[in-house]
Structure 1
Amino acid sequence: MSNNIVELIMRSQRGEVDSFGSLVNIYQSKVLGLCLKLTGNRSDAEDLAQEVFLKSFRSLKGFRLEADFGTWLHRITVNMYLNYKKKNSKVTIFYIDDPVKTDTGEINREILDESADPSQEIEEKEDRNVIKQALDSLSPEHKAVLVLREIEGYSYEEIAQITQSSLGTVKSRMNRARQALKEKILQTGMTKAGKGGEI
């Protein structure tokens, strides 16, 4: 961590709200990005990010300066996401691009780029939907590990620290998550499954 970050943390630990506001400005995009990948929609991601920063401010006195502040924030993010999913496991979430159900069927809401190849764009959108549905079908613990490793680029050791799990547990969850994701994608017959490397 840079000396500037350490100084802001120390001031925030003394209760200086402006210093904590500076920390929020520095880390907001990373935390929001992770929240978006975990929740799958902007509204829930923004709510989760706000809760993460509130929790981190309340817990800041216990933060050890030898730790990495970004990793600490990601740990809070993942824990709050997992707790939220446990409490709200029966909540149905509707997305703005989900089809509208009518008496005569469904109407899709989408705007196509006129310069693009329509069939290719439709195929890519279908593939993205398959991957999103496959990710959403994973347990919150498996989804969190997969997002941290494959999207955020954390090492297994860092993920173990963030999730407060053993290295063996992280590797086991990752293997199960990859296998479940692969099976779900292959079940749907996705046209591009396997392109671009391993799932």
Structure 2
Amino acid sequence: MLEKDLIKKCQQGDVAAFEELIASYQKKVYTIAYRYMGRKEEAEDLAQEAFIKVFKSIKGFRGESSFQTWLYHVVSNVCRDALRKNSRRAEDSLDCAVTTEKGEIKREVPDWSLSPELVFENKELGEFLQSMINQLSPEYKTVIIMREIQDMSYEEIANELNCSLGTVKSRLNRARKSLRDKIEGSKELNNINHRLSKQKEGN
């Protein structure tokens, strides 16, 4: 069944159609939530919360954007609300060690010394990157995820955050620099690079 037909059925309250509609988006929605929150359990809860919100509000979907864009907008809002609620606790723990779960990398992070293929495929590297993202402020984390994970344009980010294009570009540049500084200042990256180099030599 075509997506537009599934959406019409969902708007009539068809739960089975909704389950079919979201099946192909579940992994991506979880990934977005995990990149925001950095904890498996919280990401799962927020992904579920986002899907519930989508089901309840899908009658208002008018097709002015793609369903995917609309869905990711809902997910981002749910996650940003959670970040705001946890902002004090997050600020207190920015410099603390973070326990991360294994995950996959969707896009290249600028200025890494490894090839994008290794970044994407290596779970250890993905875990390290998530720990670095977790240390960013909510403001920086949001723009990094929107641009690098959700692949949103500058214009889309500006509309989403209700700010100017110049503000988005400036904030993203600062966020990238902050992330890059954290990565380059970490001894763990050198250890990972060394292990990956050994793996390549052994192949």
Task: Give the C-alpha shift of residue 95 in structure 1.
Answer: 3.2
| Residue of structure 1 aligned with 2:145, choices 138, 141, 147 | 147
Q: Superposed, which structure 2 residues align to 1:131-170 within 5 Å?
A: 131-170=129-168
2:100, 2:130 within 8 Å by CA — same for their partners in 1? no
Q: Quick one: structure 1 residues 61 and 67, their matched pair in 2 at CA, closer, same or farther if it must change by over 3 Å?
A: same
What is the rounded CA distance, in whole Å, between the counterparts of 1:152 and 1:186 in structure 2? 24
1:115-136 deviation per Cα after TM superposition (whole angstroms, max 9, x unaligned)? xxxxxxxxx9997666434311
Match of 1:38 in 2: 36
Aligned mates of 1:55, 1:191 — CA distance in 2: 42
The 3-state SS of whatever aligns with 1:191 is helix
Give the TM-score normalised by the residue count of structure 1.
0.69
Deviation at 1:54, TM superposition (A): 0.5
Instruction: Summarize the Cα distance change of 1:186–1:6 in structure 2 as closer, same or farther, 3 Å threshold.
Output: same
Structure 1 position 49, deviation (Å): 0.6
The answer on whether the counterparts of 1:79 and 1:163 sit within 8 Å (CA) in structure 2 is: no
The answer to whether the Cα contact below 8 Å between 1:9 and 1:23 also exists between their aligned partners in 2 is: yes
Structure 1 alignment gaps of length 5 or more: 98-123, 193-199
Q: Specify the code of the residue in structure 1 equivalent to 2:99.
A: Y
Distance in 1, matches of 2:148 and 2:30, equals: 17
Using the TM superposition, name which of 132-141 and 44-53 deviates more. Answer: 132-141
Distance 1:127 1:23, change over 3 A: closer
Corresponding residue for 1:22? 20
Q: Give the Cα separation in 1 of the matches to 2:62 and 2:159.
A: 14
| 1:34/1:129 CA distance change after superposition, 3 Å | closer
2:190 is aligned to 191
Matched, 1:95 2:99: yes
Query: Which of residues 166, 169, 172 is equivalent to 2:170?
Result: 172
SS of alignment partner, residue 65 of structure 1: coil
SS in 1 for 2:64: coil
The separation in 1 between residues aligned to 2:14 and 2:30, in whole angstroms, is 23
Match in the other structure for 2:79:
81
Identity of aligned residues (%): 41
**1:56 paired to 2:60:** no
Q: Which runs of 5+ in 2 are unaligned?
A: 102-121, 192-203
Matched positions, count: 165
Root mean square deviation, CA, Å: 3.1
Q: What CA distance in whole angstroms lies between the structure 2 residues aligned with 1:129 and 1:18?
A: 35
Q: CA deviation at 1:72?
A: 1.0
1:138-171 per-residue CA deviation (whole Å, 9 max, x = no partner) reads: 1223212212222333322333344454433322
CA shift for structure 1 position 184: 2.4
- Tell me whether 61-70 or 165-174 shows the greater mean CA deviation: 165-174
Distance 1:96 1:33, change over 3 A: closer
Query: Residues 75 and 163 of structure 1 are in contact (CA less than 8 Å); yes or no, is this contact kept in structure 2?
Result: no
TM-score norm. by structure 2 comes to: 0.68
* Bigger helix share: 2
Mark the CA change 1:152 to 1:65 in structure 2 (over 3 Å): closer, same or farther.
closer
